[in-house]
Structure 1
Amino acid sequence: MNKLKSIRLKFIVPIAILLLVSFAFIIVFTGWKVEEKTKADVLEQTKGIVKELEHSSQQFLQKYDESIQLLSESQQVKVYGQSINASAEAKSLAERDLQEIFNQYTRLYKDVLNVYFAAPNKQFKMVPATNLSNNYDPTSQSWFKLAVDNKKSAVWSEPYENASGTYVITVSKALYSGKNLIGVVGADINLTSLTNHINDLDIGYKGYPVIMAENGDAIVHPKEKGNNLTKQPLFKGAVSSEKDSGIAFDQGAEQLFIYERVNNTNWTVGAVFNEAELISVSQEIRNILLITALSILMIMIVVIYYLSAKISKPIEQLNQSVSEVAKGNLHTKVTIKGRDEVAQLGHSFNHMIDNMKNIITVVSQSAQNVRESITELNTMTQVSATSSERTVVEINEIAVESASSANKAKSAKEQSEGLSEIINAVSAKTEKMSTFALDADHANQQGAHHIHSLQQSNETSKQFIDSTEEVITELGTEIQQIEKIIHTITDISAQTNLLALNASIEAARAGTYGKGFSVVAHEVRKLAEQSNQAAQEIQEMIETILQGSHKAVNQIVQTKENFTEQTKAVKQANQIFESNSTLMNNMKELIDSLHLDMQQVAVRKDELLDLSSYMAALSQQTAVACEKVNNHTDEQLSAVQSVTIATEQLNGLNQELQQSIQRFHFQDEADQLVD
């Protein structure tokens, strides 16, 4: 479960970090771009506002500039200026007309405090009338001098504060008649309406408008009105700049001053803003983006957590099933709905379990077959061992009988020699023939009895040899059956090895989850290879046994042929003894004809000696052959015992294979009960 949580964290954390980095990059980049764009837009907007301020100021001043131009061109003003040296009546009439037009002018332009006319001779006319000192010299005033210096257009004085504390500016225009100066007409304009209008404007971003005179005095300023602003870094550059517009910065105060120059007056009209206020919109947008990004990030983390849980749940189920398989339970199944890779993995896992069950079932059945074959092989080996032991016993008996036959043959030879001596003495002792005939008859009966015993012994030996031949033949047949079983075991081992190899491949495909089964498959494959090696060793032993069996059969066949010849000789000897018995029975009757028959007896005697020698030699050969057969039978018995040991080893390997298979629970309960 912790591993699955780790997988879930490995799935969530990188995506969350990626989303966080992405959102952070988007917020920073977007904030930076929005800040740049907002700053540019705000600057353009504030430039427009400043342009409007400049335009408002310009309109305000332009209105009075044009009005003073019109006033200077009016006939009444010109007549008054030219009537300075005229008669009193003309001068009075001109003064009345000037008074009237000045009154009209002041009524029309509410911000005009005073309108006046100054002649070069220092004559001065002002409406409304104001008490001035007698030594007041209008020609010495700046507005007069500026107007005289600038003949073509009206001029503006620097703003100043009058006695009532009101900011006033003077506009003046010189009048000429040809090249002669008639006078200067001027007006004092109250700037209160302009400053109030400018101050009342909402320029946004918590900024405030500023109007400075050419010398840097503040005409409009929320705190520094009337003070010179050139000492402040923010305004110093703007006043001294030769450009008509621009932006001045105060890095320490983080303020900027956007300004425009007003024509004619050289006023500096602008607005002061805090940079933080200008980019407050971008900061608000950044905050909104941050809140939105965090909200989306939380939502996406929840969604990702849900999706990861949905993905990890089948993986957890698959992990539990793999753990069950690792414990040996092959009854487990996973049920994962869908068509994605995890569902396909679940289907592949179920298919793998089915294949494993089939493989282990086949291996189990093969092991069962091997066990049955081993049991059958043990039985056959035991039968072969028993048969071999019986063969050894019978061959030993044959050897004993052969030795007895040799002794009897030797005794027969000795008796035959004694008979020869008797026959040689017959000629000299005919008078004792009757007595000796009785002894000879008795000896002949004993010889016949021994020959009959030898014949029976030969028959028994022949039966034993036939039985040994049958046993060895049956042993060869049984060994061939064992060889077939060994071939079957070899095939089963090869199939088991192939199935173990396929299981290893399937386990390798399963990765870490198939590692346990890979070890089992490797052990199965190892057991199969050991079974195959043991089967090959048994095969080699069987081939050795078969070769020994073939040699034993050949020796027995030769021995059988020798015994056939021996039997023939024994039969002949028996016939001779029967004839001799008849002869001895008739000896008394034929004693008279003994001498006639002695020659035949001598001949028969020599044949009997030769036959006795031959029987003795044949008996010795039979004993030697029985000893060889006994040796081969011992070798066969050792080989059968080796087969038994190899079978026991194979049985142990099969039990280990069965124990390995029993680790897996792949049969249903009903099948297990049947088993």
Structure 2
Amino acid sequence: MYASSVNGLKNVKFSNPIKSVGLMLFMIIFSAIVVCVLVVGLFSYSTSKSIIKEKVAESSSVAIAQSNGKLDLMFKNYEALSMQILLDKNVQDYLTQYKQATDDYDKFDLMKKLSDTVQSYILGNQSIIGAAIVPMSGDSSSVTMGGTNITTADAQKSDWMKSVTEGAGRLVWLPTKVKGYSSSAATDPTFAMGRVMKNTISNEGSFVLLIEIRLKEVGDQLKDLKLGSGSEVLIQDGKGKIVYSADEAQLEQASPVAVPSDGKTAEEGSRTTTDSDGDQVLAMYNKFESTGWELVGTVPVSELFKDAKQIRNATYIIAGIAALLAIGIGLLVIRMVAMPLVSLRNLMNEGERGNLTVRSTISKKDEIGQLAQSFNQMMTQITVLVNQTNQSAQDVLATAGELSDASKKTAISAKEIAVATEEIANGATSLAVEAEKGSDLTSDIGGQMAKVTDANQEMGAAAAEVEKASRQGTAYMNTLIEKTGMTEEMTRSMVEKVDRLKESTRSIRKILDVLNNMTKQTNILSLNATIEAARAGTAGKGFMVVADEIRKLADQSRQSIDVVGQITETIQREIDETVSVLSDAYPIFQEQIQAVKEANQIFLTVQGQMGDFVGRLGTVTDAIGMLESSQVVLSEAMSNVSAVAEESSATSEEVASLSSEQTNISEGLVRLSDQLETVSTGLKETLSRFRT
């Protein structure tokens, strides 16, 4: 499993290992296991050290207390011995007599007796090396007993003499001397007790009693006190100097162990301190009630915790095994979690770059496998959506082309309609001019008919002129009828073309509705894709970008379709208005044609009558009457023709204006069609980046 995990890791490309989920899970598992093992092991090691220290301190304190009790009892026995000597009746008598004696011999004899009495107390006590009675002042010689040999001069200058004197009768315990208080090379180390020998009656003292005790006696009492390997037992005085040690080299030296000795702390206890070598030791101390000294026992901390180090070493070994186990578990987690996630991330990156053919091959049943299946389904749906959108874009592009062609044809038709309308307007203007000329001519005919009676001789010339004018009017009316027919035909053609254009705009509306529905569907699919990507969490961020791009394309398509729809509605509304105007103009053109035909008929009648007038000049009076009647009818007809011509000219100008506006609208429709074609081409190019 370890080898396969490592090989799998080599095939996976991590973009940033620091941000990798697998690496974070590996570090969490590794740290949790190793830290827990180290914390538990080191805590056990620390706890065992504390327990060992407490237990050793407790047991050693008990042993120190027991030894302290034994030594204290021994010291009290010595103290009791000194009191017995001091309170002895003979000693007190000798002291009183010595005080009263004036003869040197008597004093010498009394001192001898005093010495014998004291010696009787210490005789047979193997622990006492000797005693001495030293005068506090004066030149008297001191008296020594046993192994003690002290001169008066040396004693009176010594520190111990000063200490005993300052004791004022109390027993003073004196520290150990390596060579004894007599400074003899052969003497064993001794310590001493001294007190002023006072008279119990006068409470005056002239001598100091010094009793030297073998230090070996203390060692005998402490020989059974064992505190452990490397332990040491000391007795130190109140000044921190060693009174007893198994090593004689330490005697009279400063104690290597600092323990409370200022009277402000407890008289017994334990503490961790350092010795003279700087090593940590556990010191237990207990103060003697009788001497004020302290019995100190020390045990090296390293010796105490020697066995506890096995726990620490075992902790490090187990931590190493736990680290290897954590590495194995971490690699397993990377293989089961990180590698599939990285694979899905790489597939999503491929999808983001437009490759929609990627599919996941993960077939697990857990959440990662479900995520892989969801990714495959999502890519399938997106592929279908892109294909549909691509097809729709092609349809929109084709429709845009058709719409562009139809718009161009509409623009051409609008231009033709504008030209025809302009010609109709010009014809109507000419008709109005000719009608005005006809009206003037009719007025001239009326004037001439008024003068017919007075100037009959001029009748022939006037008739000729009238006949000529009739021929011209007939020609003009024929031309007007022909142009009016052409105008009617163009108007009918324009109505038919506008109807066809209206049908084209309806087709455009239907196509725009289809595109709008497709855009809505694209938006819904994009929203679903965004939701699926959000549910996928960090792994779906890459696909969320694809969904967002599709949604933007759908929004752009919807906006373009809305713009085209609005423009199409405007075109359809303008076409409806054009149809309405042409529908209103068509009956007017028919009336105009009818009026022109009637005017033409009148001209023909005038021409016939004028022919008859020329042919039948003899019937002038009757012809003049008929001519007057005809002149009245002609005048009315010319007035109607003028009015119709003016109305036709105004209508033609209005139609020309509408045709110009329709031309502008058609050109705008062409531009919008080109814009729709450009948008469709852009949509197609955008969708072409997706490979399906």
**2:39 matched to which residue of 1?**
25
**1:5 matched to which residue of 2?**
17
- The structure with higher relative contact order (CA 8 Å, sep 6+) is 2
The change in CA–CA distance for 1:600 and 1:38 in structure 2 (over 3 A counts) is same
- In 2, the alpha carbon distance for the partners of 1:391 and 1:494 equals 40
TM-score (norm 2): 0.61
The change in CA–CA distance for 1:518 and 1:376 in structure 2 (over 3 A counts) is farther
Q: State how 1:519-558 maps to structure 2 within 5 Å.
A: 521-522=547-548, 524-558=550-584
Q: State how 1:98-117 maps to structure 2 within 5 Å.
A: none
Which is further off, 2-11 or 606-615? 2-11
The change in CA–CA distance for 1:305 and 1:637 in structure 2 (over 3 A counts) is same
Shift of 1:643: 2.2
The change in CA–CA distance for 1:488 and 1:643 in structure 2 (over 3 A counts) is farther
Shift of 1:552: 3.2
The change in CA–CA distance for 1:305 and 1:232 in structure 2 (over 3 A counts) is farther
- In 2, the alpha carbon distance for the partners of 1:575 and 1:249 equals 149
Shift of 1:488: 4.3
Matched, 1:290 2:316: yes
Contact 1:555 1:625 in 2 (8 A): no
Contact 2:428 2:645 in 1 (8 A): yes
Which is further off, 337-346 or 438-447? 438-447
Matched letter for residue 482 of structure 2: Q
Identity of aligned residues (%): 25
**Among 478, 481, 503, the residue aligned to 1:452:** 478
Matched, 1:335 2:358: no
Contact 2:530 2:547 in 1 (8 A): yes
Q: State how 1:228-627 maps to structure 2 within 5 Å.
A: 252=275, 276-421=302-447, 423-427=449-453, 440-441=466-467, 443-506=469-532, 508=534, 518=544, 521-522=547-548, 524-587=550-613, 590-627=616-653
- In 2, the alpha carbon distance for the partners of 1:622 and 1:493 equals 50
- In 1, the alpha carbon distance for the partners of 2:275 and 2:593 equals 144
Shift of 1:413: 3.3
Q: State how 1:101-180 maps to structure 2 within 5 Å.
A: none
Matched letter for residue 641 of structure 2: M
Please tell me the root mean square deviation across aligned C-alpha atoms, in Å.
5.1
Which is further off, 498-507 or 19-28? 498-507
SS of alignment partner, residue 281 of structure 1: coil
**2:192 matched to which residue of 1?**
none
Matched, 1:630 2:656: yes
Shift of 1:403: 2.6
Shift of 1:38: 5.5
Contact 2:410 2:501 in 1 (8 A): yes
Post-superposition CA distance 1:305-345 (Å, at most 9, x none): 33324422112212221221232211111222323333333
Contact 1:395 1:629 in 2 (8 A): yes
Contact 2:407 2:666 in 1 (8 A): yes
TM-score (norm 1): 0.62
- In 1, the alpha carbon distance for the partners of 2:271 and 2:444 equals 166
Q: Which consecutive unaligned segments of at least 5 residues does structure 1 have?
A: 51-138, 145-194, 211-215, 238-245, 260-270, 668-675
- In 1, the alpha carbon distance for the partners of 2:541 and 2:633 equals 89
- In 2, the alpha carbon distance for the partners of 1:549 and 1:654 equals 26
**Among 644, 663, 673, the residue aligned to 2:670:** 644
Q: Which consecutive unaligned segments of at least 5 residues does structure 2 have?
A: 1-12, 65-120, 127-219, 234-242, 260-268, 286-296
Matched letter for residue 11 of structure 1: L
The change in CA–CA distance for 1:401 and 1:510 in structure 2 (over 3 A counts) is farther
Post-superposition CA distance 1:496-527 (Å, at most 9, x none): 45555555555555566655655565555455
Corresponding pairs, count: 516
Matched letter for residue 435 of structure 2: A
Matched letter for residue 30 of structure 2: A
Matched letter for residue 654 of structure 2: K
Post-superposition CA distance 1:403-441 (Å, at most 9, x none): 333343334334444544554455456667677666655
- In 2, the alpha carbon distance for the partners of 1:647 and 1:332 equals 38
Shift of 1:575: 3.0
The change in CA–CA distance for 1:285 and 1:508 in structure 2 (over 3 A counts) is closer
- In 2, the alpha carbon distance for the partners of 1:280 and 1:550 equals 110
Contact 2:488 2:589 in 1 (8 A): yes
Which is further off, 621-630 or 460-469? 460-469
Shift of 1:388: 0.7
